[in-house]
Each structure stands twice: as C-alpha cells, then as structure tokens.
Structure 1
Amino acid sequence: MLTLSVNCPKCKKTLNVPTASAGATGSCPQCKHRVTVPPLEPVATQRQVATHSNQRPCKTISSGSATALPWLTAGLALIAVVLSIASLSSSFRSRPASLEGLDSSDVVTQLDAMKQIVDSHNQQLAGYKTIVKSNDSRIESFTNRLNALELQLGEIASNTSPQPAGDVEKLRADFESFRRFITYLRQTGAIASTRKTAVLDLATRNYVCVDVEQGTLLVSCQDAEPYLDGVRLRLHIGNPMAVDFSEYAVKLRWGNRFKGAYDDTASYVKWHDSLEEKSFSQTGTLKFAAWNVCTIVLPDTNPEDLGFLEAEVDVNTVSLSRNYPDEKQ
C-alpha cells in the first residue's frame, strides 16, 4: 500500500497516511492540530497474491481488498505444511526402523536416503519462510491503515458537527480488529520461522523435525499411557546424521489443547502460561541412522488432560568411530 509521510507542523510527529488521503485535512492523533495532506496525483497499484506451487494461481486483486489477502496466504501455507509433513511421514515409515545386520555399503545408502528427505524438507521450509516474509509486508500495510484510521478518529473527535454514533463505533471496531489480526500474523510467523521446538501429534504418531546445533533430528510420540500418578511417553528419536549423540536431554511442555482463537491474545497467553514444562536428562545414546526409543514419565498428569505436547532436544556429546568398519586394527 503506497503511503505519504506528513509532518505535523505543531508537534513534528511524522504521520504515514495512504495516498488516497492526499488533499484531505485531519487532526494529529498526538496534539490534535489540524494537518493537511499535500495533494498528489493518485497512482493505481495492484498486488499479486502469493500462491503455493501446488495451488491454482489466484486472481490479481487491488490493494483495497488487502483485508482478505493475509487470511488466504496463511491458509495456503498451513495446507502446504500439512501435506508436506504427511508426505514425509509416509516416506519415512516405509523405511526400516533400524539398520542392524546391514553391511557398510547398505548403511551408507540408507543414510544418504535419509539425508535427501531432510534436505527436501529444508527446501520446502525455505518456501514457507518466503510466505512468512510476504506476510510481514502485509503487516506493514495493515500498520499504515491503522495510522490512517487514527487520523480519521482524531478528525471525528475534533469536529464540532455531530457525527453518527454508528460510524464512530464501526471505526473503533475496525481498529481493534486490525490490531488483533496483526498479533495473530506475528504469532504464526514466529512459529513458522523456527524448528528448535516442535509440537508432537499424539493421534497420528507422525514425526516432526527438531533442529539441534549439529543438524536435524526426527521426533515422534509412539505411545502415551497412564503410569502411577502420571503419564508414560514412548518417544522415537531418529538420528539421520553420521554421528552418535550421548548425554542428551529432552525438554517437554505439555497440558490441555488450546481451544480459543489465536487472535485472542489474552486467552492465548493465559493458556500458554498454564502449560507444564520440564527437562528430562537421558543417559542413553542416539545411534546414527536409526530410530532410538526414549521413555519419559510426566509426573502429576491426568491422561485426559494431555492434549498438547511440545518437544525440544539438546545434545551435549558427539561420538565418532575411531576406524572404518572394514579397516584392520
């Protein structure tokens, strides 16, 4: 959205207003001084909706329809993420869970195949980051529109002639709606830009990628059953790298599933603060090119209240073989 920068002659505040307001007069939201926007010949702009490579291109829409554009883009990105994870999960389940009994050439072949899957996922992640970057530009557009609404509200407040109450309330409702939507876009953008933590699917047992300093691990929750006063989890941690990891820790965050709207900031923060969080140190070894079983007990947890599970893995020690398997001592 094209904007004009106008300085208030009284308080010197810089106001960003849309080009459609050129020639209009309004009140400064800070000092209420009357500000006249310099006239400017309007320039028509259009914006092309970003689409996923597997979706039919959308029609070109004008900037006046930008209200629906971020919702459409966020929806396409979410569908693409779900399809990508489902495809990778199916591909990985078709591979052997362990490489015991294979010779060195078979191990290298299986390891290369696993790396190709991770590389493919990284390429798709780069595409999703491009969509998030596009959403950032739309956030800036919404911010400019908020500034224009502030200018209009100031004009209405300082105007001596009576204004219909319905128009004022509508402007205030639009203003608050834009603010909530910007908060929602920032939250979803922050989730999409990192893989250090990942939400585990307790229903489908699909794996998710979790980044560590040395590379990427694959984590899935295979089982969750009542145990004493808590819940016992059986996690599978896949190590597609060519090294072993020992003395690792699994940090979990768990609780009820969030049932509100993600643009309701107050409800989301309250739910997030109610989650339990604990780090579980493990003495086992994450063998390379294999799925490794990790058992963890969540204390004081009702199985019926376990609807959300987020995992993070921290590795401390890397182990490498001293000799190749076919090398003589």
Structure 2
Amino acid sequence: MTETTDFDARKTRASDWFRSLRDEIVAAFEGLEATHATGPFSASEPGRFEVTPTTRSTEDGSDAGGGLMSVMRGGRVFEKVGVNVSTVYGTLGEAAQKSMAARGVPGIETDPRFWASGISLVAHMQNPHAPAVHMNTRMFWTPNAWWFGGGSDLNPCIEYAEDTAHFHDTQKAWLDPHGATVYPELKAWADEYFYIPHRKRARGVGGIFMDDRNTGDWEADFALTQDIGRAFLPAYLPLVEKRRVQPFSDADKDAQLVHRGLYAEYNLVYDRGTKFGLATGHDANAVLMSLPPMAKWV
C-alpha cells in the first residue's frame, strides 16, 4: 500500500469517526430534552436539532467539501447547542498558508494543498447552574504533514467544585491508558490555551486540549483523539442531569449572561478554529455557531 493510499483510508476512518461521535452526542442531547419532566423550562416542548448541510466556498466554485451543522435553539435544557461536523479540502489561501508556515508545517510554502475533518460542539444552557461546554477534535493533513488536535473544557457561570472535579477526573480516566504524562500535559495546555489575556482570567474551569499532535504513530494519535471524544459524554452529562432541575434567581441568570460575554470575546478574538474556518472559506454560520444566543457586558 502506498503512503497516499494509506492516508486516503486514514482520512476516511477519521471522518467517519467524527460523524459517528456527532450522531451519539446529538442522540444523547435530544434524550436529555425528552426526559426533562420537572424543574425550570420542563413545561416547554423538548428541543430538537435542526440539521443543515454546509459547504466550503472557493473562488472558482470547485468542490471543496462541507459538512453538517446541527443546532438546537430554545429547548428545555439547552438554550442553544451546536454539534457540527465537516470534511473540507482544497488549497490554502495565502494568509492561511503563511500561518501554517509560521507554525512549522513542512512544505506548505510550495504545496498548499490540505484536507481537514473534525467535530465541533458548544452548548449554552437554559439553567445558569448547568455549565456551558465546548468540545472539538480534528485531523489535519497536507502532502508533507498530518496532525490531530482538540479537547473539551467546562465553562460554568456558577462554579461547583464537585462538578469541576468530576469533569477532570473523567477525562483523566480516559486519557491515563495513553500514558501517565498525557492528561497532565493536555490539562496544562488547556489552562494556557483557554485563557483570556485582556481579562487576565480563564474563560472557564479548564479541561484538556492539544494541537499539532503528531508523535509519528498515527494509530496511537488517532486512538487518543477518539478517547478525548469518548470521554465527553460521561464527563458532561451527569452535570447537566444534576443541575437542570435546580431553581435559579434573576441574579443567577444575569451572571450567566455576563459570563457568556467572556465566551464570545474569546471565540472572536483568540480561538484558532474560528480564525481558520473563516480564513479558509467555510460556512460562516457554522464557524460562528459557538456564539451564545444572548450575552451581556457590564
């Protein structure tokens, strides 16, 4: 098997995995909506995802891939949640090419072809006691390089130490089989990456994050990426199940809106995925899906 053929098969495996993870998460979130029978917002209709195909635009109109944007708005549990998958390819524009070259991607100056696939999720909750959350994983390929990236982090506006501990402990349990240093490394990376310099604070209580993951062993790196995805639901669902029924005050809701302002600032100013998606012509609505439905600045 040639290297090109081998990576064609690997691309398919990665893209299929991201799609299967998307399907699992969408089903779980709609299940939360259906079972929310008591507590705030339970009298409303359960939310369902609206699914829209997305495309990557190119100047010459050539096929450049796309994906699915799945968004639920105004549910019982989720005020807004998006679970997107995409597989895009083509030629990097000049700005993206220079950015990749600056990051040390070999050969990108002379051969700007690329392929990228991944899943991206952001959930903003109705109940301010239920934490917002972000998760994404992705694979990126060029003719001379490949890598994986992503992670998940918890963004409560009202913090509970036991919720934070559960989120981190679950992720650690899934990552420990990949080596004793992996979880501490990815946790520290998340603490650094999800920091808002102009606010001098983190946007949440952290999680795990990696980028440019290429140990030379594609299978091992893909397995780690899969377990980052597998860790998400057991780390997050119990927190939502516990907090969705909790009473809240106007002050709690106000705190939620202010915290969402931090989230919006980070995603628009610093997030690497947002910048890449917009720079490479992917559907702007899908790229900006992460923004909250309502936010407030003091």
- Using the size of structure 1 for normalisation, the TM-score is 0.25
By percentage of residues, which structure has more helix? 2
Structure number with greater Rg is 1
- Using the size of structure 2 for normalisation, the TM-score is 0.27
